[in-house]
Amino acid sequence: MQPRHTGSPQEFSVLIISSGRDAHLANAVRGIGRSTCRPAEIVVCYLNQPSAVPPPSEVPLRVVHTASEPGGPLPLGAGRNAAAAAARSRTLVFLDVDCIPGPEMFEQLLADLDRTGGLVMAAPRYLAADADVQAWVADGDESVLLRDSVPHHARAALAPAPGEPAAASQEYALFWSLGFAVRRDTFDRIGGFDESFAGYGGEDTDFAFTARREAVPLAFSAATMFHQHHGVHRPPLQHLESIVINAEAFRRKWGTWPMTGWLEAFARDGYVSWDRGGRELRLLRRPGSAELAAVRVNAPY
């Protein structure tokens, strides 16, 4: 299926960070090329992947690199900031490497950004393990992705109905960087992502809380993106150490705990000692391979 190109009302750059996710990246780039509103460029920041070969792209694609210390956590914030610094447009759209943009995602997301300013997050739908992504690869029919995906149960109410204008919100704690649009001057006003958060957990919420402190509006758009399936851990024990370190950093910075559902699960199962009403969060033990395998599920999210 050929995309219906309506042209972009404004020039924008799509920014993606990736580390060893080449197949997902190829689909994300393929989806960008099929969009009704194409960006001026794609900027891919590879994390700890110096020899990466970017996928074919119908949109000009440039590559930057960011690395962490050997064995250290992925520098997610640094990667996003590096991609933003390299971008040539005044409007930035951050897209998670796992996400395929719907054909009209950018069109609606940018229209909503024009209306609301600030941060505008797209609406994720999560593809099932048996989603027929290859059928979409073959013909670009979005209906296949719609059929084989579900919204996140805790976030479905944030976005308006399809085609409706973005809904302004005070739910800064529910912001995710899966896919969102922001003007460069707003991104700079927020200060980008705090690079002291390393690895998984907390950096998205910290970014949103800083936006709230700077009186940057937040809105949730009906613009649709499709999160490609990969197995998940419930709770995310594979990120236990990063979550503990980042949660402590967040608590020191904002005076409140993030990721409380995960911390509760870790405490319940004896991985951490956590005083929810105080300041203590202490790693007690690390999971073994059998424990990691036991919490891995094939659910969409």
Q: Which of 9, 17, 11 is nearest to 84 (CA)?
A: 17
The residue extents of the domains of the chain are 13-230, 233-297
At residue 95, does pLDDT exceed 70?
yes
Tell me the three state secondary structure of residue 282. Answer: strand
Asked if the model's pLDDT at residue 9 lies above 60, the reply is no
pLDDT at residue 1 greater than cutoff 50: no
Contacts for 5-10 with beta carbons within 8 Å, 24 or more apart?
Answer: 5/36, 5/37, 5/38, 6/36, 6/37, 6/107, 7/37, 8/37, 8/38, 8/39, 8/40, 8/106, 8/110, 9/37, 9/110, 9/111, 9/114, 10/90, 10/91, 10/110, 10/114
pLDDT tens, position by position, 52-68? 999 999 999 999 999 99
Q: What is the pLDDT of residues 209-237, one digit of tens each?
A: 999 999 999 999 999 999 999 989 999 99
Tell me the average pLDDT of the chain.
Answer: 95
Residue 147 pLDDT > 80, yes or no?
Answer: yes
Of the two residues 252 and 10, the one the predictor is more confident about is 252
Nearest residue to 181 (alpha-carbon basis) of 271, 118, 254: 118
Q: Do 43 and 83 touch, CB atoms closer than 8 A? A: yes
Phi, psi of 210 (to 5 degrees): -65, -40
Cα-Cα-Cα-Cα torsion 221, 207, 71, 240, nearest 10 degrees, comes to -80
Write a three-state SS string for 191-225: CCCCCCCCCCCCHHHHHHHHHHHCCCCEEEEEEEE
Which pLDDT does position 142 carry in this prediction? 96
DSSP conformation letters of 153-175: TTTTTTS-STTSPPEEE--GGG-
Q: What is the DSSP letter of 14?
A: E
pLDDT for position 156: 85
CA nearest to 197, candidates 215, 183, 210, 187: 210
Q: How far lies 294's CA from each of 112, 239, 264, 284, in Å?
A: 42, 15, 18, 19
In CATH, what is the architecture of 13-230? Answer: Alpha-Beta Complex (3.90)
Model pTM score: 0.95
